[in-house]
Amino acid sequence: MLAALFWICVGLLVYTQAGYPLLLALLARARRGSSAPVAAEGELPSVSLIVAAHAEEAVIEAKVANALALDYPRDRLELIVACDGSPDATPELARRAGADTVLELPRGGKIRTQDAGVERARGEIVAFSDANAQWEPDALRALVAAFADPHVAYACGQVRFVGDGGTNQEGLYWRYEMAMRALESRLASVTAGNGAIYATRRTDYLVVDPIMGHDLSFPFNMVKRGRRAVYAPAARATEKMVPSIEGEFARKRRMMSHTWPIVFRGGLLSPRGYPPLYALMILSHRILRYAAPFLHAAALGLNIALLGHGWVYTAALAAQVALPVAALLAGAVRSRPLLVARYYVLTNASIALGLVDWLRHGTPAGWSPAEGTR
């Protein structure tokens, strides 16, 4: 019985990290793909681009300039900077830079700030971006093109994280994540988005709990409503990543304290409304991914109990111990394999500790820019 449980835990971990991407690739190969729709010039919809900002005076002028330089008809683009109780000069700088509308709101959190921006928006499409994200000139056209399909309610673009030689390995992980997102989108719908570049039809916009971010709550809820949530890889943006793995751990821990309420209270676990393939995607990419630290802990405990039952369990324990040891060594030896090990260990720790934080203290709606990303 213990051996069966051990191999189930190991199998689920291997499937989550490697088997699921392989399954997606095989399914995508078996299904003929179609090219992304491209809207004609005369059919370009009006767009309201909303930037939620708190204490962003270091980057807001550059963000406004980037938005106004997009290759999109100016008379069809509305730029709204919604300031969430900014304690600095963010509102004044946004106005000076040329934002169409600047909202000065009481502190209420990112989600309620975005809600306020949508209430003031006039565009058929509402697009969203982080204040430190820089969009490529054709990004908005590429993002909007996804809505040529009337079944699409949500589209997210491709974000690339850039750094200046720090230890964070988020860029490597994100390339892996984007590859899976492209396959999910081709087969059905994505299971999550990103805050740097995404959009939804104004009529499909959802008002969610202020502690439940759009990145995770929007895609699956759109699918439950019979709509599609897709990935538009030609809509590209860049963001500065947190410089260190330790900083990334702190950021992910905060993010996971917002994720767990969506898992348990926000409807993600309920299969109601999921087509079969999308239900498999949610199980594989979300539920099992969030279960990974607990599967690791269970596998370690079972492995110790099984010592003496064959050399394979000794080898398995050595491999399990080697991972955290490599992560510890990365603090002293700057080697890419060791840094990847440290990133993996701390990322999984952030998932578990995010759950602890939510259960012990709840999750505040407020937010602040991550350290080193401006």
The predicted structure's pLDDT at residue 331: 79
Is the pLDDT assigned to residue 21 strictly greater than 90? yes
The predicted structure's pLDDT at residue 163: 80
The predicted structure's pLDDT at residue 332: 82
3-state secondary structure of 197: coil
Instruction: Quick: pLDDT tens for 52-82.
Output: 999 999 999 999 999 999 999 999 999 999 9
- Minimum mean pLDDT among 19-33, 220-234, 309-323, 341-355: which range? 19-33
Of 62, 61, 56, residue with least CA distance to 86: 56
Q: What's the whole-number mean pLDDT along residues 7-15? A: 98
Instruction: Quick: pLDDT tens for 324-353.
Output: 999 999 978 889 999 999 999 999 999 999
Of the two residues 219 and 333, the one the predictor is more confident about is 219
Is the pLDDT assigned to residue 40 strictly greater than 60? no
Calpha distance 330→338 (Å, rounded): 5
Is the pLDDT assigned to residue 142 strictly greater than 80? yes
Q: What's the whole-number mean pLDDT along residues 276-301? A: 98
- What is the reported pTM? 0.91
- Block residue for tokens 């509102």: 91
| C-beta of residue 121 within 8 angstroms of C-beta of residue 202 | yes
- What is the rounded end-to-end Cα distance, in angstroms, of the chain? 52
Q: Which domains does the chain have, with CATH numbers?
A: 41-243 (3.90.550.10)
Is the pLDDT assigned to residue 131 strictly greater than 70? yes
Is the pLDDT assigned to residue 37 strictly greater than 60? no
Q: How far is CA 35 from the centre of its chain?
A: 24
